[in-house]
Amino acid sequence: MKLIKNFPNIREILLKQLFFRLFLPQLIIGIIVIIILGILGMESVGKQQKEVAGSVVRMMDFHIEHGEKIINSLAITAESGNNSALHIILHSSWEAYGYFETIYFLDKNKQIKLIEPHNSRYSGLDMSNIPIFDNVSRNKVFISKPLVSVRTGEPIIYLVKMLSNGTYLVGELNLSLFQTEIMNIYNRNNENFVYILDQGGNLLAHPNLELVKEQKNLSNLKIFNVKKNKNFQIYSYNRKIVFGNTQVVKTTGWIVVDQIKITKFWQQFFQLLLTIMIFAIFLWVFSWSKIKKRLNSDIVSPLEQIIIQTHSIKEGDYLSLDKLENTVPVILEFNELIKSFSEMSKTLNKRENSLKEANEEMESRVRLRTSELSSTNEKLKEMYDNLKETQMQLIQSEKMAGLGTLVAGVAHELNNPTNYIFLSSHTLEKNLEEFQKKLISFTENNDVETINFFNSEFSEFENSMKYILEGSMKIKMIVNDLRTFSRLDEAGKKETLVNEMLDSAVRITSMQYGEKVNFINRISSFYSVSCYPSQLSQVFLNILVNACHAIIKKTEAVSETAKGTIDLSIEENESELFFIFKDNGCGMSEEVKNKIFEPFFTTKPVGLGTGLGMSISYGIIEKHKGRIKVASEEGVGSTITVIIPKK
């Protein structure tokens, strides 16, 4: 079906409308919802992070407090001045608590008096330059920034208590304490983890213990520098984008960070988004294929049917209307439309049919009239042709009659002198012979010279005589022919079998022309006719010879061995016999055809023909009350038909 291309079809419009007004907005809303969910999720994770960090802070407070308590209780023993008791308590505390890397008891000069675990390497050492004593007071346990243990190099913080007598109790609290706690929280799956920084950004605890041991400083992190109380911070950590939350340990100013890699967090939302997208696309494809199907069956195909019907009605085809009536649209409007359309079509059909009928009647009448007229016309034409032919024949016979009279006269006048010449010539010939013999006999002593002279002279006379005889013979024949033409030579008519006549004519011709011409005799039955047999034979001979000449004229141009054919046949009707001679020779021009029966008209070179053959034939046929018809086409061949009445 052909539609105008620039107009969208109903499917496209519906598709566009559904896609842009329904599907896409829904998808976008879906995506927006996911993003909002994600942001809300970040908020909630941020809150959660804050809580986790808070719990770590409380845990750290607890541990530091615990450490302080131990240091304080040790201090009480130390204040008592009982060094051996202190030694025992130091040892048991160190062993029991487990998170003190080393516990030192320093004298006023900050030299090591007691060290737990005991190691002679360190006893007596001066610790005064270790930067932990600047802010030490008697009331409070001082907590240092993270340092490495003098003894073991492990990451620690110092808890320092100054006693009333100016001595010091120093505990190295191992940071692995916090390490253990944050490792409990560390979730390897989503890379959510907690780490602790001191106020200068130095790591106190981190899931990667190496970093702590290496005294890594993370003060360059954005989260370390932004102290605002936001729900969460997004920043770059180790070249990865993370978001995290902080809590500050109030007693020390340390910062607990809980962070998660943002991609890890968003991964679940991306997965959800992807699922929704895939589902939405699947739903779209599915529902669109359904809608398309319904659209096709309920709207488009009835419409297309109507369009097709309109087209075929335009072409005048009402037969396929059944098909339209067979489609049962589900939609009411289409049902109505199809009903009214088919009714309209039917009415149109009826109207057109009656018009057609009226038209046909009219046409048949016209046809009748026309045929009547044309048959009359034909008859008239035939009559006219007959008239014309008769006129032509009349003219011809008149012409021939005139010529005949003239020729008869000439022939008669020529006949006698010619006979004289002929007869006298004969006599003269004989006389000359005798004269020669006589002259030779008179010759003396057989004079050879004289004899030879006479012989040569007489042979010349003989030749001349021969020419005279031949010429007069020829004149005689022409005169005879002319007499024949002019009915001077009458003989009696008799019933003759024409087959024989034709056969002998063919035989004679083929003797001379057999090499160049094939004769095909198609005569299968015997015909007899009342005629002048010798004259009719002459006619046939003339016609055949002419046909042979026409063939030779044509084949000569082709090659020496080329052959032509002459077809012979006889047809008959009630009253006449038709002798048909058909050759495939050179044919005749219209001009030649018109002059063919005139005496002395010839197309052959001078000397080869007399130009009398056909005119004589014409005369003979006329005598038989018959006709000769000539049909010819130049280059193709000629057909000569001789028509003789049977009686």
Partner 1 sequence: MNNKSKIIGISVVVFTLSLIFSKLFIYKVITVGFTAQLTGSQAELGVQERNGAELAFENINNSGGINKRKVNLIIKDDLGKPESAIVAEKELIKEGAVAIIGHATSGQTMAGMDATKNAGIILLSPTVSTPKLSKIDDNFFRVYPSFRDSSRAFADYVYNEGKIRKIGIIYDLDNKAYAETYSETFSEEFKNEGGEISSSQSYSSRSNTDFSEIIDELSKSGAQGVLIISSDNDTALIAQKIKLRGLKIAMFTSAWAQTQTLISNGGKAVEGMILEQSYTSSSKDPEFIKFQEQYLKRFGTMPSFGAAFSYEAAMVLADAMKRSKKNFSNLKESLKNTKNFQGLMDEFSIDQFGDVERPFYLSVVENNEFKVIKKLNFAKESGN
User: Which stretches of the chain bind partner 1, using CB under 8 A?
Assistant: 25, 28, 31-32, 35, 109-111, 119-122, 124-131, 145, 148-153, 200-202, 210, 213-215, 217, 219-220, 239, 241, 263
CB 519 within 8 Å of CB 566:
yes
CA-to-CA dists, residue 469 to 87, 408, 413, 476, angstroms: 192, 24, 19, 10
Measured distance CA(272)–CA(546) in Å, rounded = 112
Nearest distance from residue 277's CB to partner 1, in Å?
A: 12
Measured distance CA(223)–CA(352) in Å, rounded = 92
* Closer residue to partner 1, CB minimum distance, 106 or 548: 106
* Closer residue to partner 1, CB minimum distance, 274 or 368: 274
Q: If residue 160 lies in a helix (H) or strand (E), which one and from where to where?
A: strand 155-162
Nearest distance from residue 150's CB to partner 1, in Å?
A: 6
* Residues contacting residue 295 through CB under 8 Å, at least 6 positions apart: 10, 11, 14
CA dihedral sign of residues 389, 394, 395, 396: positive
Nearest distance from residue 84's CB to partner 1, in Å?
A: 22
Measured distance CA(132)–CA(158) in Å, rounded = 7
* Closer residue to partner 1, CB minimum distance, 121 or 314: 121
Reduced to 3 states, what is the DSSP secondary structure of residue 599? coil
Query: 613-623 and 332-442 helices cross at what angle (nearest 10)?
Result: 110
Nearest distance from residue 121's CB to partner 1, in Å?
A: 4
Nearest distance from residue 319's CB to partner 1, in Å?
A: 54
Nearest distance from residue 108's CB to partner 1, in Å?
A: 13
* Closer residue to partner 1, CB minimum distance, 200 or 409: 200
Reduced to 3 states, what is the DSSP secondary structure of residue 521? strand
Query: Which neighbouring-strand residues pair with 170?
Result: 104, 160
* Closer residue to partner 1, CB minimum distance, 206 or 582: 206
Nearest distance from residue 191's CB to partner 1, in Å?
A: 16
Measured distance CA(259)–CA(562) in Å, rounded = 117
Nearest distance from residue 225's CB to partner 1, in Å?
A: 11
* Closer residue to partner 1, CB minimum distance, 125 or 523: 125
* Closer residue to partner 1, CB minimum distance, 260 or 313: 260
* Residue among 501, 571, 579 at smallest CA distance from 535: 501
CA-to-CA dists, residue 622 to 369, 390, 397, 450, angstroms: 44, 14, 8, 62
* Closer residue to partner 1, CB minimum distance, 119 or 390: 119
Measured distance CA(516)–CA(549) in Å, rounded = 10
Nearest distance from residue 60's CB to partner 1, in Å?
A: 19
* Closer residue to partner 1, CB minimum distance, 105 or 540: 105
* Residues contacting residue 118 through CB under 8 Å, at least 6 positions apart: none
* Closer residue to partner 1, CB minimum distance, 208 or 464: 208
* Closer residue to partner 1, CB minimum distance, 205 or 299: 205
* Residue among 510, 522, 602, 504 at smallest CA distance from 548: 510
Q: Name the token pair of 586.
A: 């050179």
Nearest distance from residue 123's CB to partner 1, in Å?
A: 8
Cα angle 545-551-557, degrees, rounded to a multiple of 5? 140
Nearest distance from residue 201's CB to partner 1, in Å?
A: 7
CB contact burial 436-466 (16+ within 10 A = b; e otherwise)? beebeeeeeeeeeeeeeebeeebeeeeeebe
* Residue among 565, 529, 564 at smallest CA distance from 642: 529
* Closer residue to partner 1, CB minimum distance, 201 or 471: 201
DSSP state of 121: T
Q: What is the CA radius of gyration of the chain?
A: 74
* Closer residue to partner 1, CB minimum distance, 144 or 305: 144
CB-CB neighbours of 221 under 10 Å: 21
Measured distance CA(164)–CA(138) in Å, rounded = 7
Nearest distance from residue 253's CB to partner 1, in Å?
A: 12
CB 313 within 8 Å of CB 348:
yes
* Closer residue to partner 1, CB minimum distance, 31 or 276: 31
Nearest distance from residue 234's CB to partner 1, in Å?
A: 11
Q: Determine how β-strand 564-572 pairs with β-strand 576-583.
A: antiparallel
Query: Which neighbouring-strand residues pair with 305?
Result: none
Nearest distance from residue 110's CB to partner 1, in Å?
A: 7
